[in-house]
Structure 1
């Protein structure tokens, strides 16, 4: 059945492609955060272990919301590691860095997701896609706040 939600098909495709990049960045950041939650050590172990758990839990909910928005636009959401690797701007961490480097990587990751989300705004605005604009606004608020909180841990 044709989709007739007031957003032209070409705009829906472009918005969904942008959201697919946000999804890939978010999922990659989720995996990195979960990895760091499991493997963090050092004097800040308890603080970071709990903080990372809260962050990956929030990201798990977010990836579902982003994927469902892509589907509502009539497109298929990417859902494989290989698809995410092609779309994401966030580098995977192969090893277990020290806690300070974990924090630095997560700051960069949240900032990356924020930049990717911000880059999709013009597409949502062009298509008159308020639900996507709202989703992007929520994601920006969360990623910018999380980056600030993590960055604060690095202050001396």
Structure 2
């Protein structure tokens, strides 16, 4: 059924492209954070194991929210590994890292997502989709908070 929510087809396509990239970035961050949760070792194991658990669960919950935003715009969600890999800017980590390096990697990834979100919010609003702009604004706050928590573990 055709959707009639006051957005042009071009605007909807642009916003869905943004949301698809954000979904892929969030999915890769989820996978990476979960991997680090499973494999963290060292003196700070307990704290980091718990922190990574909280973060990957929050990221997992966000995946459904992002996908539902795409569906609410009348489009299908990219849901295969190949699609996610083509859409993400998050780099995979192949080796098991030391605990401090895990924190640095996740911090860099979240800060990268925050920078992208700032641009995507402007683009969504410019396309006339203030709903997606608001949605992404709420999401940027979550990534900024996670970055802060990670950063605080690196300060002496």
With the shorter chain as reference, the TM-score category is over 0.9
| Correspondence 1:1-156 to 2 at 5 A | 1-156=1-156
Q: Whole-Å Cα distance in 1 between the matches of residues 104 and 81 of structure 2?
A: 23
Q: Whole-Å Cα distance in 1 between the matches of residues 120 and 74 of structure 2?
A: 17
The number of residues matched between the two structures is 156
Any stretches of 5+ residues in structure 2 without a counterpart? Answer: none
Superposed structure 1 runs of 4+ greater than 6 Å apart? none
**Contact in 2 for aligned 1:19/1:117 (Cα 8 Å):** no
**Contact in 2 for aligned 1:25/1:112 (Cα 8 Å):** no
3-state SS, counterpart of residue 142 of structure 1: helix
Task: Give me the CA root mean square deviation.
Answer: 1.0
Any stretches of 5+ residues in structure 1 without a counterpart? Answer: none
Q: Whole-Å Cα distance in 2 between the matches of residues 16 and 72 of structure 1?
A: 10
Q: TM-score, structure 1 length as denominator?
A: 0.96
Deviations 1:98-126 (A, max 9, x none): 00000000001111211222221123212
**Contact in 1 for aligned 2:114/2:144 (Cα 8 Å):** yes
**Contact in 1 for aligned 2:11/2:128 (Cα 8 Å):** no
Q: Whole-Å Cα distance in 1 between the matches of residues 116 and 79 of structure 2?
A: 18
Q: TM-score, structure 2 length as denominator?
A: 0.96
Deviations 1:16-64 (A, max 9, x none): 0011111110000000000000000000000000000000000011111
3-state SS, counterpart of residue 106 of structure 1: helix
1:127 positional shift: 2.9
